[in-house]
Structure 1
């Protein structure tokens, strides 16, 4: 009798089965790669170096000090709340939106722990994220606390992205979804993941969620415990991190649940873990909605400059999408650091090609699902912006749509794989994405470091692009972030480059194991389970 859990050698031509130890090794390597890339940005950035970071740090420090639900007040642009935090965290802006000015004019965070009342636009936000990252900012309110808070956020994002990598590596039949992972992990996604800002964790959760929910709901029946756990965790995060989370979850449900594979639906309805996770997500969503009503989180403040008709607002919003697309790739710092045009064009062409592949290879139902996802990620936020423009102004940014739009590209890749996109072409696309896009990641970091350290003159030249020079430098120096990012990108590129397709013309390998191993992590979609005593019978968990 074969040992429980033993992986039977596959037939000739079949892809090797993935053991738990192999999956864990892949996860550890991917986690290291993503953390090195993300934390490089964390180390490189000045205090309040990303959009609204000081606002979120003040909120995090307040939550960590027990100020969970401060009274709503006109703390910033008519919204937000006041929190009492260590004085070393309260710093005024002097260089944001002035791209020619370096961060040298700013006072760094200090160790002053004098209780100081500070207004923050994030003061009404749901406290879950801030409870996660806030303690270091209260215990060590100088650079140590800020970097530790950033590191906690970076660790969480890296863990989610590593899970997405393992799922895609083991569930992607032809390797095209791995190329999609490279595309959706944009410099802006990494930039936000490096900061104290729930938007970064939301983007990472969106990538993990769609990487798992697509094979869970649309893939062939098979082992799903790991997928359920990842979908549950990432969906729970999406529900509580920002107000748009319930919209992303509802859109994904509409897109993938109708029509659902009957075998998947029945299996999920009977699965106790799926029931518990679904109940937890619904409960968390209701709690967040109740919090939003009580704390008036829908009051975004007043940034409006003009009174516009709906038609005027619609035309302006349509024109702003050119900027949104660049922001999705990476308009960094406080949206005041725009790279030269070629990196944006290259990234958008690769993303557009992937979407086109999905549309061309997809069926009518596939295209309908893509349309629903695009509607949730593009049309709904734009319509909301148009409707509220005279109350709040144009406050939408490209990064806000990223948690939903990553699902569009991941699903486009899934479509092409399921409809027979050739393995050789999928491998070529994925490797081309590595060669074209990962260098842009490093260039974007270096370019943003130049902006922070020296400012960007109006007539910038190649001689100005020296990330090791300037009148301001990161607290860890300028070399360490660049070295960390380089190592992480090389490791990530190697992991993607060496990923093998699981597709095969031969029957899929048989895996023999006991019921006690139902928690094994992320087995390939085509893997069938066979009990030790069965002769040719198939059983799924």
Structure 2
């Protein structure tokens, strides 16, 4: 294939290609933000972290596939790990109680047999982070393990940033990344927990798979393939929901064939190699699930409900899921004041509305497929299993696919001709409105850990530098790291919004070039065509992206 590797400017000039330098800058930015949460949190400060720490230390000690046992709530397995990691907590689910009452991890390396609810999980993630926990079971090992997990997540998010910036015409895709990387995503990525890496892998996967399957391929796609392949492999094995995530993305973007690049891509040996690896990883994860009985999540049920009752309760929980996607932190026991949730929902929701309004019928179908995979299927499974597991679904489990919804909505708006000035305004609004919320959520959660949250919170209570308990690195260090990381990420997003097709005072829609494939118009990928479309007051040329011959919608 021949052509220009990135979407050109409206005047036909080639855009700057962003590579290793910008990936390194984004890596530093995301790592500072994520590791700030790692440094700020007490031991077992995020949902189920102790369970995953025990599993990781066990895998590092060679206990790869322990026999399934009723170790926690009727599920899990037993692992033998250093005694310094076996700690019970006294403050979880008690937001008014600080972490000062808890016993921190210690250096005791006495082999101790303990149960963990994560004992049956696929070992890949735990092999990556478990070494420091087995070697140095006190705070050094815990922070190193968290740091490894944070670095892996930051590397994926940095890859997503470069992929999106290289393929955005207006900066809107980078604005979508700002909205998708929620405080909850940063919070979970900071912990020893595969869910955090899964969220980052979801962002990276959609950042690569959308342009791969729907974009114009004029030059090298090695970077996209690498990002899609690595993130797809991780999604397949990190958690039991991996096959659902990968399958939903493939269903949404690979079909119908005449509107995707699938037939052209499968002619490339590298594509087949990566796809084969993801399929094998998925099969391995499924086989592991059967062998280790990972489908049994434990007995959390307290009531016997009819399906109708469960459906109504589950639908009422959706609002809570939206808040959790933004950030209900600690052990889901720390809710922010309402304005941060409202602001984030409005900014992210506006992007979804833009995608729906600007999209055609096929675009809306693809958004619906992603939403079904993110929300409807988990809710249906929750209702079906409620009398066995109780209500255990959380918003963070939906985040990997919900990030795809936002990224695809931005992609649709760009492909359908949103004006650069409008897209630039959205991206800058996201930077100015959402990044301060990131810092506020960290500071507010630190107050919860260090002081506990009084029943009636006042401004005098919100001092993250004081408390009965302090992080081992001090309270100022996480705040400083997060501030520097957010400032750098904000600058990267702001400059992406600045690098648009039109001058700042141009509010008209751009007139870019459209591209078609052999299935759409009969022309090969990389062949430029203008497609005039009717608009108020005459004709205008819109960026129809990859499907110049598409007529749906």
State if a TM-score over 0.5 links the two structures: yes
1: CA distance, partners of 2:337 / 2:270: 48
Contact 1:11 1:506 in 2 (8 A): no
Look up the match of 1:53.
49
Shift of 1:11: 9.5
1:232-311 alignment runs, 5 A limit: 232-261=229-258, 264-311=261-308
Look up the match of 1:18.
16
Contact 2:45 2:331 in 1 (8 A): yes
Contact 1:324 1:397 in 2 (8 A): yes
Contact 2:132 2:145 in 1 (8 A): yes
Contact 1:86 1:138 in 2 (8 A): yes
Instruction: Identify which of 169, 173, 180 aligns with 1:184.
Output: 180
1: CA distance, partners of 2:9 / 2:344: 40
2: CA distance, partners of 1:253 / 1:300: 27
Cα 1:114–1:417 change in 2 (3 A) is same
1:34-113 alignment runs, 5 A limit: 34-113=30-109
1: CA distance, partners of 2:512 / 2:238: 43
2: CA distance, partners of 1:212 / 1:503: 22
Q: Deviations over 1:195-254 (max 9, x none)?
A: 000000000000000011001100112232211111111111000000111101111111
RMSD: 2.0
Look up the match of 2:472.
475
SS in 2 for 1:80: strand
User: What TM-score does the superposition give when structure 2 sets the normalisation length?
Assistant: 0.88
SS in 1 for 2:114: strand
1:421 aligns with 2:418: yes
1: CA distance, partners of 2:9 / 2:374: 43
How many equivalent pairs are there? 504
Contact 1:82 1:123 in 2 (8 A): yes
1: CA distance, partners of 2:471 / 2:527: 48
1:483-502 alignment runs, 5 A limit: 483-499=480-496, 500-501=498-499
Look up the match of 1:202.
198
Look up the match of 1:168.
164
1: CA distance, partners of 2:10 / 2:390: 62
1: CA distance, partners of 2:282 / 2:302: 34
Look up the match of 1:215.
211
Cα 1:463–1:221 change in 2 (3 A) is same
1:115 aligns with 2:111: yes
Contact 2:9 2:169 in 1 (8 A): no
1: CA distance, partners of 2:205 / 2:378: 20
2: CA distance, partners of 1:170 / 1:526: 16
Q: Deviations over 1:250-295 (max 9, x none)?
A: 1111111112357823331111110001111111111110100010
Q: Give the unaligned 5+ runs of structure 1.
A: 1-5, 509-524, 529-541
Instruction: Identify which of 423, 428, 432 aligns with 1:431.
Output: 428
Shift of 1:172: 1.1
2: CA distance, partners of 1:240 / 1:48: 23
Cα 1:73–1:490 change in 2 (3 A) is same
Deviates more, 1:225-234 or 1:323-332: 225-234
1: CA distance, partners of 2:271 / 2:293: 32
Contact 1:179 1:433 in 2 (8 A): yes
Q: Deviations over 1:29-62 (max 9, x none)?
A: 1110000000000000000000000000000000
Instruction: Identify which of 397, 403, 415 aligns with 2:400.
Output: 403
Look up the match of 1:129.
125
Instruction: Identify which of 144, 147, 156 aligns with 1:148.
Output: 144
Cα 1:418–1:470 change in 2 (3 A) is same
Shift of 1:14: 4.5
Shift of 1:15: 4.8
1:330-341 alignment runs, 5 A limit: 330-341=327-338
Q: Deviations over 1:458-495 (max 9, x none)?
A: 11111000000001000000000000000000000011
User: What TM-score does the superposition give when structure 1 sets the normalisation length?
Assistant: 0.90
Shift of 1:503: 4.6
Contact 1:17 1:527 in 2 (8 A): no
Which of the pair has the greater relative contact order for Cα pairs under 8 Å at 6+ separation?
1
SS in 2 for 1:36: helix
Instruction: Identify which of 340, 364, 369 aligns with 1:367.
Output: 364
